[in-house]
Structure 1
Amino acid sequence: MTPGSSWTTRGRSWTRSPFSHDSAWSPSSSKPKEGLALNNGTAACTAVAAVAVNRAFDLASVGFGVHALYAQALLATDQSFAPFVQAVKPHPGQIFTAAAMIDLVTGSAAIRNEEGGARDRPEGVLIQDRYSLRCLPQYIGPIVDGMVTVKRQIEVESNSASDNPLVDGERGEILHTGNFLAQYTGVAMDQLRYHLGLMAKHIDVQTALLMAPEFNHGLAPSLTGHMDGMSVGLKSLQVAVNQMMPLMGFYGQSIVDRFPTHAEQFNQNVNSQAMNSANLARETLDVFTHFLAVSLFVAVQAVELRAKQMRDTYDAREILSPATIGLYEAARAAATPKQIGDGPLMFNDMDQLVQPMVEGLIAGLDTDGSILRSVDAVNRKLRAHDDR
């Protein structure tokens, strides 16, 4: 137990002073109903859910950064994010997503600056981007709004009375009721897993675009750094994200509707399944962390190859927007100690192992990791967003 921690056993609450320098614990007496409130299943599963929501917002912010790096590697147009487009379909999440993407890609030498009538489309590039780029605000918008609703529900549940019976002190009445049912928590976690799966599916689609020479506007097949010999580029990493994405979709299925209907002689004939749902959210976030680590590997390789094509240097900072340089630097440093500019992230896959590089990226996605710190601006805006 850490300083300031507390627990309840045999009707007594025990608290450790946050300022103590020894292992001594002093007993603390519970006030009426506090013991039950602390031990109620709703409090426990909502605590798991609150941690999951916090982590989900962190990783979704990285997802925005991945999208911005991918958009630059794919020479996307900024028309898709134009304020006018969102104004005539004014869903809050769509407006937020488009504005966030504009902030992330403004100033990039790789983005086609076509918003406002300008035309700098390279020869041979289609006038319209593929759906995964062109429809990005419309696709990610509902995910943003959904996550905000989940966050709000968990905040309300965390600050609610969730035990039984309840005492109305003003009326002097004891009410035998059902606030202990964690249905809001269960449904929220079902929704959270579903939304994270949608985000992964969208990133997976764009990963496939980057790998295919027919659609990646001149980048090497499978983002190969070394075109001679037996190198196969990042094909194995594409396969990795492609198998993780369906797993997240599987975890995204609802579980709150799968409850026993006759437990305890029909007394507990509905059950929120909230703890199962919250625990599945934790597992989904573990997979999503690995998924984003691999996606960042792909993103770094792609923008470095694009920089070589556009500026004859593997230093992607030469073409990236100011808002994505920090993420690029953090991801690359997490993957390899090799200096920026000394070739692409992976020059020859026969010369090095991918696993420790991906593990470095996973570490950078830790709660206090360098990658999360690099997307702090997006994270703060996302947490402040209101879908109402």
Structure 2
Amino acid sequence: MLTSLTLERLEAVALGRDSLVLSRQERQSVEKAHDFLLARIESRQRIYGVTTGYGPLATTYVAPEQSVQLQQNLVYHLCSGVGEPLAIDQVRALMAARLVSLCRGHSGVSSALVERLLFWLLHAVTPEIPSRGTVGASGDLTPLAHLARALSGEGRVSINGGPWMPSATAHRQLELEPLILANKDAIALVNGTSVTAGIAALNAVRAQRAVKLSTLLVLLYAELLEGHREAFHPQIGAVRPYPGQQQLHRWLWALSADSQALKPLDARTLPASLDGVARHQTLPQDAYTLRCAPQALGAAWDVCTQHAETVKTEIASVSDNPLLFPEEEEILHGGNFFGQHLAFASDHLNNAVVQMALYSERRIARVTDPLRNNGLPAFMQPRDTGLHSGFMGAQVSATSLVAELRSQAMPASIQSIPTNADNQDIVPLGTIAARRASTSITQLYQILAIEALVLAQAVDIVGSPSLSTATRALHHWVRQRAVTLGGDRPLAEEIEAIAQALLDPDEVASLIELLD
């Protein structure tokens, strides 16, 4: 059933690798709610946005005969978005999320609207939706209005990722008639949280994968620096029972089981000849980037899990207004479109993403520093160091990305500004929070890509026989996509290519399976 869509499947739909199918039960629910709505309209019931104006103009009553113009004018006045278009995968994600909500049988939309959204997803028709202009209070009115505009044959769309074209031209090519949005079609389409939810769904699965990939990277980092395996012991997590920390202990302990590079557990004793104080001995434990990996990444995993649960709940929700309950013969006006849950969750996730980026950058900094990297060459350049600078520039880029992430880390969810003639006197700004988290995740993957290249270079220098099976697989994965750095060369394209590969669920499936 479409309404049982998982976040992973939603991502696959967004990437064009899966399709949605509406069940018979869902079709019947849509039709039943629509028939109920039509009966109430025919009885001339006052229904917000259907037989009234919008927002503070709801004091205006509108005759049912003007339904089409009322719905069309809603779309027109809300098509005020600005900025670069949302990415195609984000638009497809929000379309899927909106479909799931509408098909629960409480929105009263026509079957024609549902079928057209399904058709567009199946045939890769993507509307151009400006990324800015919504406060997420009555749902994502502005971006969803641009979707409605395109469905009506106006605005622009892309087919199969091609160039933008007029929606009217695309309709002719596809031998379709533009939709006429009437009754409750337009307000039900625009009056929901699905833009925020769609973007947040992509953020959820990508952030969780980032933790898993970071786990592999931190293990390889620890092996290269000959860290103590002891810090990964599950008993440490057992007495501090955060689920995320315990999960990281399990992952790191299991993945490191066959590693010969980490220092094993030992029974530490003082030298028998010790008399007084013996200074400058070997440290019995590691720097925090090694020793606190379960705690740092475990906390991030807990945040990612909490965020994902919030998104799952939102995807399973009906978020427009008013809501129809045909079984109870009620139409109820309320505020399910208010996206506060997603706003808080997205800001919380963004904090975890920034921390993961900072943690990766600190690992890069230590492993490229010849004073702290266990005898590895400076910036991982073993050939004519000084004449060649290796990953020096890439390490600076990682630092810059972290600084930018920090500068943009102010929460959006607390920035409420009253609007709409004070009708929307509080606004959650969840869409801004979700978009910001999405940008942060992209930059996190760029930093992880730099780390992956640096660590793979280190393995090329010292060899891999003592490494764990998992980290040898990680090294092999990187080397399938980027060659060893000999003399200096531009790295920008390689960093971006590795970042995109890390982001792709199919590309990293073999790595993620190591932890599952």
Q: What TM bracket, shorter-length normalisation?
A: 0.7 to 0.9
Check whether the contact 1:222–1:234 (CA below 8 A) recurs between aligned residues: yes
Alignment of 1:260-271 (within 5 A): 260-261=417-418, 263-271=419-427
Q: Secondary structure at the match of 1:267?
A: coil
Whole-angstrom CA distance in 2 between matches of 1:31 and 1:155:
30
Count of equivalent residues: 352
Equivalent position to 1:53, from 171, 191, 204: 204
Task: Show the counterpart of 2:324.
Answer: 167
- CA 1:359/1:260 → structure 2, altered by over 3 Å: closer, same or farther? closer
Whole-angstrom CA distance in 1 between matches of 2:375 and 2:406:
32
Paired letter, 1:258:
Q
Residue 145 (1) aligns with residue 302 (2): yes
Task: Show the counterpart of 1:186.
Answer: 343
- CA 1:300/1:52 → structure 2, altered by over 3 Å: closer, same or farther? same
Residue 221 (1) aligns with residue 357 (2): no
Paired letter, 2:428:
S
Alignment of 1:1-388 (within 5 A): 12-13=112-113, 14-15=115-116, 16=119, 23-25=174-176, 36-114=187-265, 117=267, 125-169=282-326, 171-227=328-384, 230-261=387-418, 263-307=419-463, 316=464, 318-336=465-483, 345-349=484-488, 352-368=489-505, 370=507, 372-377=508-513, 381=516
Q: Which has the larger radius of gyration?
A: 2
Q: Secondary structure at the match of 1:375?
A: helix
Whole-angstrom CA distance in 1 between matches of 2:506 and 2:268:
39
- CA 1:229/1:195 → structure 2, altered by over 3 Å: closer, same or farther? closer
Whole-angstrom CA distance in 2 between matches of 1:354 and 1:36:
49
Check whether the contact 1:260–1:271 (CA below 8 A) recurs between aligned residues: yes
Residue 353 (structure 1) shift: 2.5
Residue 271 (structure 1) shift: 0.8
Higher relative contact order (CA 8 A, sep 6+): 1
Residue 176 (structure 1) shift: 2.0
Paired letter, 2:487:
N
Check whether the contact 1:334–1:363 (CA below 8 A) recurs between aligned residues: no
Q: Secondary structure at the match of 2:481?
A: helix
Whole-angstrom CA distance in 2 between matches of 1:293 and 1:173:
54
Tell me the C-alpha RMSD between the 2 structures.
3.1
Paired letter, 1:93:
G
- Structure 2 gap segments, 5+ residues each: 1-13, 23-70, 73-109, 124-172, 270-279
- CA 1:362/1:150 → structure 2, altered by over 3 Å: closer, same or farther? same
Residue 170 (structure 1) shift: 5.1
Paired letter, 1:283:
T
Whole-angstrom CA distance in 1 between matches of 2:224 and 2:366:
10
- Structure 1 gap segments, 5+ residues each: 308-315, 337-344, 382-388
